[in-house]
Amino acid sequence: MANIDPRAKNTVDVHNANDDPEVIRIQADLELEDSSPERMRLMRRQLIDGVCDCDSCRRRRLWIAVRRAHKIAAELQQMEELDEMVKRAYQGNSNAVVDMIEKYEFAALEHQGGPIMITGCAVCEKLTQDEKCYHCGREPWMMTMKNFIKSRKDLSKFPRYICLPVLHAAAWGGSYDLVEKILKYDCDVNQQDMMGCVALHWVTCNGHTAASKQKQYMSTAELLLKSGADVTIPDNGDKTPIELTLSPCPVFNDMRLTILKHKKKILNENLLQYCQEGNADLAMRMHRAGADLGCGDWLNDTPLHVSVTFGHIVLVERLLEAGKIERRLLSLLDARSVDGLTPIDTAHKWGYRRIASILQRERQEQVLKDMVSRITQDGTTTINAKIPPELRGTLLGHQVAKQLKQQQSRQKRMVKLLRLEQRMNKKGSIEKKPLEIQNKSSQLCVIA
Ligand SMILES: [Zn+2]
Ligand SMILES: [Zn+2]
């Protein structure tokens, strides 16, 4: 039953549980419970059918059995009480939560319980939101799989029963007051749950909620940020909280701005620091957590300047890649420091010829692309586009003309294909009409 992943220390491993005699015994007990007349009525089953053995029921019994196995009575009672506490935390019931934290202290803050939601039950899809599902155990207030996918598509391998620490549950439920109270108990704000998420992850993915609820989430996020939330921690889907405000969750721009307002300065400083040290992984992590590629230090040296100055070629390549994705590579390559040097000049100054040639090549490519797109967007279509007169006869003009020619021939081919298709469609419609008439006349013949 040992789980190798250290981050998943509190998860329930149901895969190796089938050989465990105690798990099998508890499952049998639960089956007996399910076959009682009262449960049968709730599951809308006839007594003659016997106990339900659908996938959802089997998985629920296994999940409960694995959690209960090898525990003495006192531990079981504590687990049940703490599970209830996490559920209450999601619903925003602060009195019940505070009582439990005072009773169990650190164990209560660390406990991952619930479940807050249950994913993937065939029966639930037929039920309305406010019906209780007796097959998987979903309560009316729990989210459905559909809702969950809408907000967190990135967790493709999320567990079926989602259990969270109490802070995460309160944050996801969006209750500011409760989060504030829990944080006062010396709770670790950067604790990771079984999906690798910190509490901030659960707050930032709520772009799909109503405007009033969004405000609540934003103030909760501010509270977490002020309490020292680390925005650079990726979850098991390799997403930082700020990445979740853009994709795959619904866009939540206000949340993005809220995080940047608090963390931008420190992230930028760290990015420049790691660029100096040449630590590519950490530098890119800062960028993904919200650091700006175009930021400058006191000499207005951008991350690209700094990594070129110290000759970190791998880092330079990764920065170029990131700039391309953000579609701002040209402006990054043309950024000037206080003494008027671009990254290319800096590379020459410090004698890094290979880096200089890489930068030069990238810049040429970008200038070319920029030119072509500007000419074609200038109100003219690609077919009629011509290179500007001031570029005629220059090397750049020659390259731009070549690119344009390629695009024009591609577009001409497309137009030809379109016309051909239109002609075919016209022919088709002419040929179809007589057929219909023929059919009608033949029908008439039969009737007559
Ligand atoms: Zn069932
Ligand atoms: Zn269900």
136 residue type, one letter? C
Q: Is 75 strand, coil or helix?
A: helix
Ligand 1: centre distance to CA 121 (Å): 9
Measure the CA–CA gap between 109 and 88, rounded to whole angstroms: 14
Dihedral, CA atoms, 237, 240, 243, 249, nearest 10 degrees?
50
Ligand nearest to the CA of 124: 2
Residue 137: nearest ligand to its CA? 2
CB 308 within 8 A of CB 352: yes
Ligand 1 mean position, distance from CA 57 (Å): 4
Q: What's the 184 CA to ligand 2 centre distance in angstroms? A: 36
Reported for 282-286, long-range contacts at CB under 8 A and 24+ positions apart, including other chains, are: 283/307, 283/315, 283/318, 283/319, 284/318, 284/322, 285/232, 285/234, 285/240, 286/232
* Cα 32 to middle of ligand 1, angstroms: 14
> Class of the 293-365 domain?
mainly alpha
Q: Which residues contact 84 (CB under 8 A, 6 or more apart)?
A: 96, 100
Q: How far away, in angstroms, is 36 Cα from ligand 1 center?
A: 14
Which regions in the chain score pLDDT beneath 70? 1-18, 156-157, 377-385, 428-448
Selection from 106, 57, 55 nearest residue 78 by Cα: 106
**Ligand closest in space to the Cα of 132:** 2
Nearest ligand, CA of residue 136? 2
Q: Which ligand is nearest to the CA of 127?
A: 2
CA of 195 to the centre of ligand 2 (A): 22
**Residues in the chain, how many?**
448
Q: How many helices (H) and strands (E) does the chain have?
A: 20, 2
Q: In this structure, which ligand is nearest to the CA of 139? A: 2
Distance 18 CA to ligand 2 centre (A): 22
Alpha carbons 204 and 220: distance in angstroms, whole number: 10
Residue corresponding to tokens 């680390």: 230
**Measured over all CA atoms, what is the biggest interatomic distance in the chain, rounded to whole angstroms?**
98
Q: What is the model's pLDDT at position 440?
A: 41
CA of 116 to the centre of ligand 1 (A): 20
C-beta of residue 90 within 8 angstroms of C-beta of residue 116:
yes
**CA 54 to ligand 1 centroid distance, Å:** 4
ipTM topping 0.90: yes
Q: Which residue in 85, 61, 76 sits closest to 134, CA to CA? A: 61
Please tell me the distance between residue 129's alpha carbon and the centre of ligand 1 in angstroms. Answer: 18
How far apart (Å, rounded) are the C-alpha atoms in residues 134 and 154?
A: 28
d(CA 349, CA 436): 79
Residue 140 has what pLDDT? 86
How much distance in Å is there from the Cα of 137 to the middle of ligand 2? Answer: 6
| Contact indicator for 216, 174 with CB cutoff of 8 Å | yes
Break the chain into its structural domains and give their ranges.
293-365, 390-447
